[in-house]
């Protein structure tokens, strides 16, 4: 059996940047809980994306949770969420005992449909927050979405877990709303093995989230807590990995783009194949190269053919309103997200893949059209 080709696996820098910062943490004995790597990673990430402040946390999920809390979301509040996403986008809404309402996608972006969002506001005028996701590194149509949300005076949280390095009209995703969230999970474009970052131009609110994330420990000689706290801070070792990874973010985005263009050039002429959308205002990081199939070859056919050759692929996210846990909550839209799920597939997009690896994937897929 040939070596496995992964969908998207960790890729440490050839220069060894990560080990330099990890060694610094060991040499100074600042292993945990915090330290200079955490402080500098927050500054460096905020500077990279153009945000005033950042809080390094244990996961992107933790970042969404604290963003909701910072936005004042409480029990019984309504939060609009895209239905086409991973459950980590929505689970924190439940943590806050709030009520998610799911919004459909559009074909132009694969992300939250502005028309469905406007319809949702007509149905639910009392909304506390809107979570926008930039799926697979594709930017949502932020001008339209922000115009609607500003009109309704509602807080906006951008789940940019999959889109670090993606630009909307020359500006980093995650910096349009009140709060932006990034993930450094093992499969993301850069990784700390696990971890996340919350960014905002509201420095006071970010300081508050750091307080909550460190068990809400009051300034006192003894242990005193006046608010509910969480164990959500990133460790100094993990942050060191992140600092090293951040140095190669642009390289990783360049390779992801190369992978997408390779697949598109080789596969776009196949009957029934349509690639994830591109817009002139969007510069994606192409975290996962994804396409839809509307012919005789179905996503399961490709996934099974690739798996036989030890190659990982996966379906497009199953919409949240179709999930057993979330199906009791309302959904606004038509069937776009369902069609993307039924017809979509994510191809292996690992930045360590060679041209030979890409050719191997392409030949297996092409073979399904001639069999």
Question: Is 204 contained in some domain?
Answer: yes
**Together in a domain, 234 and 289:** no
Question: Is 165 contained in some domain?
Answer: yes
Number of structural domains found in the chain:
2
- pLDDT at residue 221 tops 90: no
Phi, psi (rounded to 5 degrees) for 265: -60, -40
Q: Which of 246, 264, 286 is the last residue of a domain?
A: 246
User: Band of the pLDDT at 69, cuts 50, 70, 90?
Assistant: very high
**Together in a domain, 241 and 330:** no
**Together in a domain, 282 and 211:** no
**Together in a domain, 168 and 285:** no
Q: In angstroms, rounded to a whole number, what is the distance separating the alpha carbons of residues 200 and 103?
A: 24
- pLDDT at residue 113 tops 90: yes
Q: In angstroms, rounded to a whole number, what is the distance separating the alpha carbons of residues 197 and 42?
A: 8
Q: 29-33, 129-133, 268-272 — which is least confidently predicted?
A: 29-33
**Together in a domain, 237 and 286:** no
Mean pLDDT (the chain, rounded): 97
Whether the Cβ atoms of residue 306 and residue 361 lie closer than 8 Å to each other: yes
Question: Is 5 contained in some domain?
Answer: no
- Give the CA dihedral 330, 333, 334, 338, nearest 10 degrees: -70
pTM above 0.75, yes or no: yes
CATH of the domain at 317: 3.90.1150.10
Question: Is 1 contained in some domain?
Answer: no
With a pLDDT cut of 70, the percent of the chain lying above it is 99
Question: Is 7 contained in some domain?
Answer: no
Question: Is 45 contained in some domain?
Answer: yes
Question: Is 28 contained in some domain?
Answer: yes
Q: In angstroms, rounded to a whole number, what is the distance separating the alpha carbons of residues 113 and 123?
A: 15
Place of tokens 């609110």: 205
**Together in a domain, 221 and 330:** no
- pLDDT at residue 33 tops 80: no
DSSP state string for 189-213: SS--BS-EEEEES-HHHHHHHHHHH
Q: How many CA atoms lie within 13 A of 80 on its CB side?
A: 32
Nearest alpha carbon to residue 63 among 146, 154, 132, 159: 159
With a pLDDT cut of 90, the percent of the chain lying above it is 96
Instruction: Determine the pLDDT at residue 152.
Output: 97
**Together in a domain, 22 and 161:** yes
Instruction: Determine the pLDDT at residue 32.
Output: 76
| pLDDT (mean) for 117-127 | 98
Q: 61-70, 193-202, 216-225, 340-349 — which is least confidently predicted?
A: 216-225
Q: Which of 196, 213, 246 is the last residue of a domain?
A: 246
Q: Which of 211, 246, 281 is the last residue of a domain?
A: 246
- pLDDT at residue 31 tops 90: no
CATH of the domain at 66: 3.40.640.10
User: Coil, strand, or helix at residue 290?
Assistant: strand
Whether the Cβ atoms of residue 232 and residue 33 lie closer than 8 Å to each other: no
Question: Is 346 contained in some domain?
Answer: yes
**Together in a domain, 242 and 297:** no
**Together in a domain, 121 and 57:** yes
**Together in a domain, 37 and 167:** yes
**Together in a domain, 98 and 204:** yes
Give the domain range for residue 273: 249-370
**Together in a domain, 225 and 353:** no
User: What CA–CA distances, in Å, run from 195 to 62, 238, 267?
Assistant: 9, 8, 35
Instruction: Determine the pLDDT at residue 220.
Output: 86
């Amino acid at each position: 059996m040939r070596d496995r080709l992964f969908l998207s696996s960790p890729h440490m820098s050839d220069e060894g940047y990560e080990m330099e910062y990890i060694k610094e943490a060991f040499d100074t004995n600042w292993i945990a809980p915090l330290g200079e790597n955490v402080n500098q990673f927050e500054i460096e990430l905020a500077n990279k994306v153009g945000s005033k402040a950042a809080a390094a946390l244990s996961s992107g999920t933790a970042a969404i949770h604290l963003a909701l809390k910072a936005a004042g979301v409480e029990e019984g509040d309504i939060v609009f969420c895209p239905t086409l996403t991973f459950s980590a986008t929505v689970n924190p809404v439940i943590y806050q005992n709030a009520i998610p309402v799911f919004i459909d996608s559009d074909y132009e972006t694969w992300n939250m449909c502005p028309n469905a969002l406007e319809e949702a506001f007509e149905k639910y005028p009392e909304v506390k927050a809107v979570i926008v996701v930039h799926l697979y590194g594709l930017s949502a149509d932020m001008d339209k979405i922000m115009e609607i949300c500003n009109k309704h005076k509602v807080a906006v949280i951008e789940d940019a877990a999959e889109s670090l390095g993606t630009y909307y009209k020359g500006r980093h995703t995650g910096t349009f709303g009140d709060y932006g969230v990034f993930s450094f999970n093992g499969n993301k474009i850069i990784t700390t093995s696990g971890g996340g970052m919350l960014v905002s131009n509201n420095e006071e609110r970010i300081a508050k989230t750091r307080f909550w994330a460190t068990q809400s420990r009051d300034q006192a000689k003894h242990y005193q807590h006046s608010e509910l706290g969480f164990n959500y801070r990133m460790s100094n070792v993990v942050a060191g990995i992140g600092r090293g990874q951040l140095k190669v973010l642009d390289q990783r985005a360049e390779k992801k783009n190369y992978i997408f263009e390779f697949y598109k050039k080789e596969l776009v002429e196949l009957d029934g194949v349509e690639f994830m959308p591109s817009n002139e205002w969007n510069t994606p990081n192409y975290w996962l190269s994804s396409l839809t199939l509307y012919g005789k070859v179905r996503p399961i056919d490709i996934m099974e053919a690739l798996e036989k050759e030890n190659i990982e692929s996966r379906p497009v996210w199953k919409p949240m309103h179709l999930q057993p846990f979330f199906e009791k909550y309302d959904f606004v839209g038509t069937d776009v997200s369902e069609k993307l799920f039924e017809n979509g597939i994510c191809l292996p997009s690992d930045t360590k893949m060679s041209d030979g690896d890409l050719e191997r994937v392409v030949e297996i897929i092409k073979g399904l059209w001639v069999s």
